[in-house]
Chains A and B, each alone.
Chain A
Amino acid sequence: MSEHKPNLEGKYKWIGTRPERPDGADKVTGRARFGADFNLPGQLIGKVLRSPHAHAEIRSIDTSKAEKLAGVKAVITAKDFPDQANLIVPTGEMQVNMRDITRNIIAREKALYEGHPVAAVAAVSEAVAKQALALIKVDYKVLPHVIDVAEAMKPDAPILHDHLLTEGANPPASKPSNIAKRIEFKKGDAKAGFEQADVVIEKDFTTQAVHQGYIEPHAALASAAEDGQVQVWTTTQGHFQVRGFCARLLGIETSQIRVTPTEIGGGFGGKTVVYLEPLAMRLSQKAGKPVKMTMSREDVFRASGPAPGGNVKVKIGAMKDGRIVAAECIVQMQAGAFPGSPVGPACMCSFACYDIDNVYIEGFDVVSNRPKVAAYRAPGAPISAWAVESTLDMLALQLDMDPIDLRLKNAAKAGTKTAYGVTFNTIGMVETLEAIKHSAHYRTPPKHGYSRGVAAGFWFNIGADSSAASHVGEDGSVTVISGNPDIGGSRASLALMAAEELGVDYNRVRPVIADTASIGFNFVTGGSRVTFATGLAVVNSVRDMIRELKVRAAKIWKIDPEAVIWEGGMAKPAGNQVGTFEPLSLADLAAQAGRTGGPINGHAQLNVTGAGPGFGVHCVDLRVDEDTGCVHIGRYTAAQDVGTAIHPSYVEGQLQGGAVQGIGWALNEEYIYNSKGRLDNPGFLDYRMPVASDLPMIETILVEVPNPQHPYGVRGVGEVPIVPPTAAVGNAISRAIGVRMTDLPMSPPRLSEVIDAARPKKLMAAE
Chain B
Amino acid sequence: MAKIHVNTTINGAPTEFLCDANQTLLDVLRDNLGLTGSKEGCGSGDCGACSVTVNGRLVCSCLVLAPEAEGQKIETIEGMAEGDKLHPLQKKFVEMAALQCGICTPGFLVASKSLLEKYPNPTEDEVRYWLAGNLCRCTGYDKIVTAVLEVAAEMRESAR
Contact = CB atoms under 8 A, between A and B. Distances in A.
**Interface range, B side:** 35 or more
Contacts of A68: none
In this complex, which of A214, A691, A694 has the most chain B Cβ atoms within 10 angstroms of its Cβ?
A691
Contacts of A28: 86, 90, 93-94, 99, 102, 105-106, 109
What DSSP secondary structure best describes chain B's contact surface? loop
A216 B100 contact: no
B100 A215 contact: no
Contacts of A296: 43
A513 to B, nearest CB: 13
Contact of B142 (A217, A487, A656): A656
B38 A661 contact: no
A677 interface: no
Contacts of B95: 20
Given A296-B43, A684-B135, A695-B128, A649 B143 contact: yes
**Interface range, A side:** 35 or more
A266 B137 contact: yes
Contacts of B133: 691
B154 interface: no
Interface stretch (A31-39, A364-372, A440-448, A706-714): A31-39
Interface in A325-343: none
A658 B138 CA distance: 7
Contacts of B47: 215, 297, 684
Interface string B109-124: 1000000000000001
A317 to B, nearest CB: 36
Contacts of B43: 296-297
Given A30-B36, A653-B143, A657-B140, A689 B103 contact: no
Interface string A543-569: 000000000000000000000000000
A265 B101 contact: yes
A619 to B, nearest CB: 15
B77 interface: yes
Contacts of B129: 692-693
B141 interface: yes
Contact of A660 (B96, B103, B140): B140
A735 interface: no
B137 A29 contact: no
A27 B97 contact: no
Contacts of A267: 101
Nearest to A489: B100
A660 B30 CA distance: 31
Given A683-B44, A683-B46, A30 B38 contact: yes
A698 B94 CA distance: 19
A33 B139 CA distance: 20
A576 B18 CA distance: 76
A610 B133 CA distance: 42
Nearest to A267: B101
Contacts of B38: 30
Contacts of B41: 215-217, 265, 297, 684
B81 to A, nearest CB: 6
A659 interface: yes
A21 interface: yes
A213 interface: yes
A661 B135 CA distance: 12
Contacts of A294: 40
B65 to A, nearest CB: 16
Given A213-B137, A661-B140, 4 more contacts: A29-B90, A216-B103, A649-B97, A683-B42
Interface of B: 30, 35-44, 46-47, 49, 76-78, 80-81, 86, 90, 93-97, 99-106, 109, 124-125, 127-129, 131-146
